[in-house]
Structure 1
């Protein structure tokens, strides 16, 4: 009788890839959604900001409270790595601790019931993954670590400097995934536009795009998390010229005020940001997502209002809003003129309303148009609605489209691309009619 495994992946999509590597090493286990019946419980934690750290700890405590005797609780990932000494000493609920370097050794750690923190980040190189959540889309990790020195970010302190994967390693992984039926890919890292700069190659993403375009069976791709100081006009043009990569730009600019960008140690200013954003916006069917941080130390009312006005007027398609999190080990943590939480929350609320407004405006432009979309499955909203997305959107974060009608007689297939007409907007959900095969 096989042992049962319950696994929880928190945080970013890079964490998800690492979780899928662990699943690949534990294929002999039977997966269960019921943590109380699991023999092994693994939580791949996030340690980026306070809210993520608290979610990780709460998950550990809740799973421990409901687990059966003799089960093994494993804490892996960024939070475990960042606070390994403190957590290993104080968190008695956990049986095995491991960080960000041993995902492909999880089976060995379980067999030995041993904690381990390898002093290097883990990069996939031939490891077999069990891709979750989709039959056609997969995330592909480009690198780990980061060479940026942003004032608010603690990631380099526990993941180290940029460490890029070999280009052919990535190509082999994509080729392998294609043979398993995957055709849509999101390439991710902390700073994707710096890919291969640690190997003295300045145009690493351009090389990646050209290499992926050679792989037969890749129909759709996008790059997540560009960084303004390492994104070039040449890269934007290469994406625009690609027959495989969408004109999809996820570039978290964090602010627009020049003084605030300097305080944040972002390495660029407003003029460079606008140059890049306008070049992206000029491309056909461009989709632009960004993120802003409100309440960073020394952010004045005027600085915030400049950011809010820009966010509302530029024409972003999606916008993430983060309240500043005061993280130890960062230069911002040592700064004076901290912003009270009450003001941070008020600014986040105002910018959040703008984020909703611009999303609705972006979605409204789809009404009456015909697009290509892929059906993911049944909708959670209603049994007669199907959940879909256009391939120009990233999975999970950019929303979903509800398919409520069709003009073709054949049964619709999950994971297949169709042509569809957007008929109306219901809140932040476009309604679509399938009009034919893509």
Structure 2
């Protein structure tokens, strides 16, 4: 068996967890950043929207161009699953294709050197992972698939219906990671607020919160990807009562105009959506993140302006902006009144500017506050600046804080939680002084 592995994970954090499972099955390989030295190259692809599909294909072809002779190139994940027949015919560069059901069998696929697409839903249940990117934080996947029918989303067509992990499986995984020194966790799935609904349990996240709080040494947690029509005020109250889970609310609402929300098949209209958002915002030390889609078929200028006004006035801490992607197998694909690419790009630019301003206001509101932060290491900016993030923030996506001073003359440890005071905003990065260990 070959002994050097180069692996690339594209797309979302859920994909990252699956990539870490493959790494766990291939620990007899030596990881290398040099693709031209690798004996095995794996790309875990994303097939969500056009830009992600293009990135996945270009990444695979680029790696093929530089790989060494007799190496094995594997294309795994969502794009492979979604277009399995087409890719097998059109990409002879790839040696092995596999989808979303065989991450824990990647070692078998390499030994057999053949493609496989299992029908089974892969849920982590005892699979060992090699957690990447942090010595203290890990993502925990709650489920696979989705029961929603959003007009623009093709994911249920290749990921299937909701399949939740049971609480014991999740608790066991966290307990294993705690033993390795991990104490901060982000819980992810396609629709986290539907967790356990496939098992006829309405408020599975509240049960999850109770279960995680029983695990010693878990100090910090947040839930990503709430869905409006499956998020309840009771759930938000249970998050707020928790001593471990932050008041971190990531609920992609996609639009705010009632007619457009109906066309998008989002389940809730403007009034109920804003009720949830207002309650989130009212909670102490809350952090509210959302996403919007611009350019969905039939989106009028008035609908777009209503979304811009709401995005500007509500007080979101972070906003993601996505341009509509016309995806086959989705209801929106067959809709009339498509928006031109030029107009979509123009609207995305305008809403993106609003999103940047929202982030700036949120960061300015931090100045002078006392916070908890976690130091990740030295910054890229200067050797005397340390890179940190506020403990409530999700890694990678919510920003970076530079620690430029401390009250006590002690060395600060990486991966440790400190209390600090935010001092100023330099560009789009906060600075802070650690005031006690």
TM-score, normalised to structure 2's length?
0.99
**1:227 counterpart residue number:** 227
**2:38 counterpart residue number:** 38
- Higher mean C-alpha displacement, 220-229 vs 116-125: 116-125
**1:131 counterpart residue number:** 131
Deviation at 1:436, TM superposition (A): 1.2
**1:93 counterpart residue number:** 93
**2:364 counterpart residue number:** 364
Deviation at 1:370, TM superposition (A): 1.4
Q: Is the 8 A contact 2:2 2:40 kept in 1?
A: no
**1:304 counterpart residue number:** 304
Q: Is the 8 A contact 1:363 1:425 kept in 2?
A: yes
- In structure 2, list runs of 5 or more residues that go unmatched: none
Distance 2:121 2:297 in 1: 31
Deviation at 1:121, TM superposition (A): 2.5
Deviation string 1:105-146 (CA, Å, 9 cap, x unpaired) is 000100110110001231100001000000000000000000
Q: Is 1:414 the equivalent of 2:414?
A: yes
Deviation at 1:426, TM superposition (A): 0.8
| Paired residues for 1:283-322 under 5 Å | 283-322=283-322
User: Cα RMSD between the aligned structures?
Assistant: 0.9
**1:213 counterpart residue number:** 213
Q: Is the 8 A contact 1:141 1:188 kept in 2?
A: yes
**1:268 counterpart residue number:** 268
**2:337 counterpart residue number:** 337
- Higher mean C-alpha displacement, 215-224 vs 401-410: 401-410
Distance 1:93 1:399 in 2: 38
**2:170 counterpart residue number:** 170
Q: Is the 8 A contact 2:373 2:391 kept in 1?
A: yes
Q: Is the 8 A contact 1:2 1:28 kept in 2?
A: no
| Paired residues for 1:174-193 under 5 Å | 174-193=174-193
**2:156 counterpart residue number:** 156
SS in 1 for 2:41: strand
Q: Is the 8 A contact 1:22 1:103 kept in 2?
A: yes
Deviation at 1:417, TM superposition (A): 0.7
Deviation at 1:381, TM superposition (A): 2.3
Deviation at 1:2, TM superposition (A): 6.8
| Paired residues for 1:40-59 under 5 Å | 40-59=40-59
Q: Is the 8 A contact 1:2 1:30 kept in 2?
A: no
Deviation string 1:140-180 (CA, Å, 9 cap, x unpaired) is 00000000000000000000000000111001101111011
Q: Is the 8 A contact 2:2 2:39 kept in 1?
A: no
Distance 1:77 1:27 in 2: 20
SS in 1 for 2:384: coil
Distance 1:90 1:67 in 2: 19
Distance 1:118 1:387 in 2: 42
Distance 2:347 2:408 in 1: 48
Q: Is 1:61 the equivalent of 2:77?
A: no
SS in 2 for 1:422: strand
Deviation string 1:336-375 (CA, Å, 9 cap, x unpaired) is 0000111101100000000000101000011111111000
SS in 2 for 1:210: helix
Deviation string 1:33-84 (CA, Å, 9 cap, x unpaired) is 1111000000000000000000000100110000000000000000000000
Deviation string 1:253-307 (CA, Å, 9 cap, x unpaired) is 0000000000001111001101100110110000000000000000000000000
Deviation at 1:384, TM superposition (A): 2.2
**1:397 counterpart residue number:** 397
Q: Is the 8 A contact 1:4 1:40 kept in 2?
A: yes
SS in 2 for 1:5: strand
**1:198 counterpart residue number:** 198
- Higher mean C-alpha displacement, 255-264 vs 402-411: 402-411
Q: Is the 8 A contact 2:47 2:53 kept in 1?
A: yes
**1:240 counterpart residue number:** 240
Q: Is the 8 A contact 2:375 2:417 kept in 1?
A: yes
Distance 2:377 2:93 in 1: 37
Distance 2:342 2:187 in 1: 37
Distance 2:430 2:230 in 1: 35
SS in 1 for 2:253: coil
**1:111 counterpart residue number:** 111
**4+ residue runs of structure 1 moved beyond 6 angstroms?**
none
Q: Is the 8 A contact 2:22 2:103 kept in 1?
A: yes
SS in 2 for 1:374: strand
Deviation at 1:406, TM superposition (A): 1.7
Distance 2:381 2:63 in 1: 28
- In structure 1, list runs of 5 or more residues that go unmatched: none
Q: Is the 8 A contact 2:77 2:99 kept in 1?
A: yes
SS in 1 for 2:312: helix
**1:122 counterpart residue number:** 122
